[in-house]
Structures are given as structure tokens and as C-alpha cells.
Amino acid sequence: MGLASKAEVSGTIDIPNVGESVAVVLTTYNDAAFLREAISSVIAQKRPADEVIVVDDGSEVSPAPVFADFPQIRLLRKSNGGLSSARNAGLHFASSRYISFLDADDRLEPNAIEAGLACFARQPEAAMVYGGHRRIQADGSPLSVDLFQPLGEDPYADLLTGNRIGMHATALYRREVLLALGGFDEELRRCEDYDLYLRLALSYPIASHPEIIAEYRWHGGNVSKERGEMLQAVLAVLDRHRGKTRTHRKAWRAGQRNWKDWYETGQLVQWNGQKAPVAEMGMLRKLAGFVEKHTTGRLRNSRLYGLLSHGRGTWPPPVGAIDFGRLGTTTPISLAFGWDRGRPIDRYYIENFLAGRTADIKGRVLEVGDDAYSRRYGGSKITRQDVLHLDVKHPNASLVGDLTQPDVLPDRAFDCILVTQTLHLIFDLEQAVKRLHAALRPGGILLLTVPGISQIDRGEWGDNWCWSLTAVSIRKLFEPHFGPELEIKAYGNVFAATAFLQGAALEEVDRAKLDIYDPAYPVTITLRARKV
């Protein structure tokens, strides 16, 4: 392709052995403010990139001075042609087998290349692999929980419902596949990555892994903040993919609803509880049906939809304007957290947390209650599995008793302990934390989840339900024993909390809405603690 040959090229780099080589292409246009951070994140990879190519898409001021400290960078300068054109220039200039793309205002985590190649090794038939990401603010502080959504058996259908990959920098491609597909569509000024995912998913396998490998910076200059233009662009991409099967047409219709909801309301709420700019607030007040489309599938006919959909008008709605609908009753949708209807909402957060910590679940592992999550996320890495249960008759119990009591758990015995949705049932929290710490070997990992906003169990555990916990209380409990290096995260928002309290099933809500985090509505709190 002539794009690279027409570009101004500077820098020197050895052409890699194509075997397992990786190229990272950074694209920049008048955004030198974050470019050094982006480049540094590529250079800091545990598994170094074989090629690091920066494509300057006609910036008014050359970014070349930024590269003084990075002699391994290859700089291509070209006239402005848009993001697709810049990425295609890097695609055709590179010679590596694999390739990824990073925008100049974003960052890679040090494990990005390593995790992508490992995923390809596990699933060599894949044409593209991707991992998880998090959103950060302009100063680099976190804006969201870790975000990762795997694709199902029909990746094309899943992608029609929404961009489950979420951030382009998490994707690692086989370069030859991108070339065969014609690269990025240069007619598209927005959503070119989403268009490429859909085209690729039609003909090639896609694989994923839950490791968090990139940070997506949200700041005042993001193109994706231009909500009206973005909605128009993404719907135009969807129009190319209406689908030939009934399943795909159904997914396409769901995608239209989901994208409209995201760009009308969801993106505003995502800004970590900050007040939207005045101009955005004016736009928000003019939006019709602020939560009219906060649900999908069967839930649209449930009580929950009646509460969340208060009709068109201003925000917040005036007193008396809310239509509670079928939620006007004091009876919830489910009396059992949603288990009688599907999977409860909190399982989404618990299982995403554990899926991102599979590397920790190895060696001798203890799980409280049963061994389901250990088997699911540890598998063959587990050399010995133990289960702690109060009931001596439990078929899988290898240890029986109250973990706060001496001699129930052996000291310094376990490489990993999983405690999910259990700590709130123990009155003596301090003693429980001491015993868990004592039971771990040095370097051992505790993976723990607790409920925040929740129903109280109506069955066997109701009489033992002692606490509702927060990220603050978890830190105060565990820091004196495990030290300050704790990984604590809270998940949830008012939609997730309402759905969980009512007993809505995970299968009937839009999962993208569960990813939005509002610290005022913690549904689930997670902890990863390492014994030093």
C-alpha cells in the first residue's frame, strides 16, 4: 500500500524475525500532552515489542522532540487523513506477525504483550485476542472498575449487541488477517475499530483473556465524548451488519437499543460521580426518557422497569412524576436473590473478579462452602483442594467448623484461599481475619468478596447475617494484618443495586450498565490480599 511509502520516516530499527514478533503502532494528532506516557508504557513491556511505530497524522507541531529518550521508536509523518488512515500506515509499514494499536492518550499495562501472546498460544486458531481494561481520568487516577467482557459462542452476534471489547488497545491481531480484511475503513472517522471487529468476527475466531492490560484515558478532548456524532457513527456501522439470520437480526436490534442508551445517558453517568459540565447538563435535561431504555429482554416487562422508567421530562423528575408501575408493591421480583429466575446480579461482579485472578488460584487451595469457583478458575493449577464447611455431612468438606475457632484451619498451609459472600455471616470479624491470615503460607493470596447493598437471606443463612460491608470497612479490617498493599474494589450503581434488590436475573439486564460504578451504591466489594 502506498501510504507508508508516502510518509516521512525517521528513526532506525532492526527488522524482526517474523516468528512471534509483535509491533505496537501508536497514532498521534496534536496530542503531545500524553504521548510520552503512551510511549513509556510500550517501552516498559515485560515482553518487549519488536517494533514500536509512531504514526503522526499531520500534527501542526512535530512530535519528534518527544522521542529524544526513545531511540528505538520509528516515526512516520504523513498528511492528515484520520485515525483509520494513520493506523493503516502503521499496519503496512510494520513487518511483525502480530500487531496492536495504541492511541497517544492511552497507556498499556506492562503485561499487555505477554498476556496477548499467551492467549494466542492457548488458542492458536484465533485471528485476534483481547483482554480487559480500566478507564482513567486525565491525571491517571482510576475512573472505573476493571472492565472485561468475554464473547460467547457466536462472537459476531455478541458484538452486534455492543462493543464488548471496549478498548482497542486491548486487542492483539494477526497482522496478515488485518491485511486480508483491507485494514481499517478510511471512510469512517469514528467507530472504525468496532467496524473492524464485526468484519473480522464474520470470518475468523476471536479469543480473550481476563487480564487487565490497558488504560483508557477519559478527558475533555476525547472524540468519544461527542455523543451525538458518536451515536450517529456507531448506528451507521451497525447498518452495515443487519444480519442474515434470525439470531443476528435480533442481536442487531438489541445493539441499536443499547447504543442509543449509552450515548444518550450511560456515558454521562460513567464520569465517576462527577458533575457533568454545564453544557452537558443542559443537554441532559433535554434528553427524552432518561432511563426509558435501561433494560433489555424479559426485564422490560417486569416491576423493575416500571421503577426505572419515569417517562420523558427534566432530570431530576419533579415530585409525583415517577411511575412506579408494578414496583408499587412491597413484594420483590424474587425472594431468593434471583436464583429462581437465573443468575443473581452480584455473580457478575464476583465471577469477573475471580476470572481476573486465575493466576493466583494454584497450589494448595482452600475454598469456603464448596469448590465450584476453585475448579472453575484454578483447574489444573491446583495441586490440592480443600473445602471448609460448617456441616460435617457436606460431601466435599475436608475441613469442618467455624473458621474463627482455633485448630479448624491449619497454620501456614494454603497458597490461596477463596472466601466468597461469607464474611458478613461471621460476627467476630477480627478473629476471622486473623485466622485467614494465619492459614496462608508466606506469599499466599486471599481472594474475598462480600455483599454491600443486598437482600438478607430468607433461608438457612438469615439468622447468621450480621453485617453489611463497604470498601472502607474491609480496608480497616484487613490492613492491620496484611499491610497496606491491599487490592480493594467496589462494584455497582443505582441500576445494579435496584436490580439486585428486586432479584432480577443477570440474563435479563444490559451488562454494560452493570460496569458503570457509582461509589454511593456498592453492591459487591472484592479484596485481593497477599501475606508478606
- DSSP, collapsed to helix, strand or coil, labels residue 216 as strand
Residue 55 C-alpha cell reads as: 504514526
- Please provide the DSSP assignment of 440-458 as one string: EEEEEEEEEEEESS----S
**DSSP H or E run through 530:** strand 524-530
- Highest mean pLDDT of the ranges 303-307, 369-373, 473-477: 473-477
Mean pLDDT of 145-150: 83
Amino acid at residue number 183: G
Per-residue pLDDT tens over the stretch 174-196 = 999 999 999 999 888 888 999 99
Give the HSE-up count for residue 510: Cα atoms under 13 Å, Cβ half-sphere. Answer: 26
Q: How far is CA 105 from the centre of its chain?
A: 19
pLDDT at 138: 81
State yes or no: cis peptide before 142, omega within 30 of 0.
no
With beta carbons less than 8 A apart as the criterion, state whether 25 and 169 touch: no
- List the single range of 62-66, 240-244, 294-298, 386-390 with lowest mean pLDDT: 294-298
Q: Would you give the DSSP letter of residue 439? A: H
**pLDDT at position 275 over 90:** no
Q: Kindly tell me if the per-residue pLDDT of 236 is higher than 60.
A: yes
Query: In the Cβ-directed half-sphere of 46, how many Cα atoms lie within 13 Å?
Result: 11
Q: Which CATH number fits domain 345-530: 3.40.50.1360, 3.20.20.140, 3.30.300.30, 3.40.50.150?
A: 3.40.50.150
Q: Quickly state the pLDDT bin for 292 (edges 50, 70, 90).
A: very low
Cα→Cα distances 72→63, 215, 341, Å: 15, 23, 56
Q: What is the pLDDT of residue 319?
A: 73
> CA 470, CA 467: separation in Å to the nearest integer?
10
Superfamily of the domain at 2-220: Spore Coat Polysaccharide Biosynthesis Protein SpsA; Chain A (3.90.550.10)
What is residue 104's three-state secondary structure?
coil
The pTM of this model reads: 0.53
Q: What is the DSSP letter of 9?
A: E
Write out 148-186 in H/E/C secondary structure: CCCCCCCHHHHHHHCCCCCCHHHEEEEHHHHHHHCCCCC
pLDDT of residue 327: 72
Domain with CATH 3.90.550.10 in the chain: 2-220
Q: Cell 532506525 maps to which residue? A: 12
Q: Inform me whether the pLDDT recorded for 321 exceeds 80.
A: no
- Range 467-473 contact pairs with CB under 8 angstroms and sequence separation of 24 or more: 467/423, 467/424, 467/429, 468/424, 469/423, 469/424, 469/525, 470/522, 470/525, 471/522, 471/525
